[in-house]
Amino acid sequence: DTGVSQNPRHKITKRGQNVTFRCDPISEHNRLYWYRQTLGQGPEFLTYFQNEAQLEKSRLLSDRFSAERPKGSFSTLEIQRTEQGDSAMYLCASRGGREGLPYEQYFGPGTRLTVT
């Protein structure tokens, strides 16, 4: 099964430290999304890539957050100077197909970040 994978699955860090998460999408998918899910809430959109281009960023993505997708394959999400409010599940999803069509987004298992 070559689904979406995310690493690490869990990350505990101290406030002020930097963390980086990785997402490996389904290989033929050119679109990749990052979402954040806090306790008791639904996932919220963070950012979107089409191939290597980052085409949209949510206002939730402060300047401490940066995401990349070099060569249009895997993606990384980095949080600098973490705060306790960054504690959440970070979900990655990928999809193929053309824009504006209802292709399914396939989600990875997520990375749970705890900032102490």
Partner 1 sequence: AQSVTQLGSHVSVSEGALVLLRCNYSSSVPPYLFWYVQYPNQGLQLLLKYTTGATLVKGINGFEAEFKKSETSFHLTKPSAHMSDAAEYFCAVSAHTGANSKLTFGKGITLSVRP
CB-wise, 17 or 37, nearer to partner 1? 37
Q: How far is the CB of 81 from partner 1 (least distance, A)?
A: 26
Mask: binding to partner 1, 30-59, rule CB under 8 A, as x and -?
Answer: -x-x-x----xxxxxx--x-x----xx---
CB-wise, 19 or 36, nearer to partner 1? 36
Question: How is residue 39 written in tokens?
Answer: 């306790």
CB-wise, 17 or 76, nearer to partner 1? 76
- Cis ω for the linkage preceding 109 (within 30 of 0): no
* CA dist., res. 29 & res. 49, Å (int): 11
Does 108 participate in binding partner 1 (rule CB under 8 A)? yes
